[in-house]
A = this chain, B = another copy of it.
């Protein structure tokens, strides 16, 4: 069983990396098509568990304790196969 955790900055928090990437894309000729860029982390965790509910509970704890800074970041968890 695998958990895919996406961690991104909350709305309203300045996204430096996203802004820099947006600027770089503009200079590379994508100015007209790119409206906004935001950058986050994707964390893929292989789990020793076959119980989806248990997996989700444990991964939520991991997010709260370590993976996300919940003051400025949001996260979502997807449990797969």
Contacts and interface: CB of A to CB of B under 8 A. Distances in A.
Interface of A: 6, 8, 21, 24-25, 28, 30, 32-49, 55, 58, 61-62, 65-67
A4 B20 CA distance: 17
Contacts of A34: 45-48, 62
A41 to B, nearest CB: 6
* Number of identical protomers: 2
Given A49-B33, A66-B21, A8 B40 contact: no
A48 to B, nearest CB: 5
A70 to B, nearest CB: 16
Contacts of A55: 33
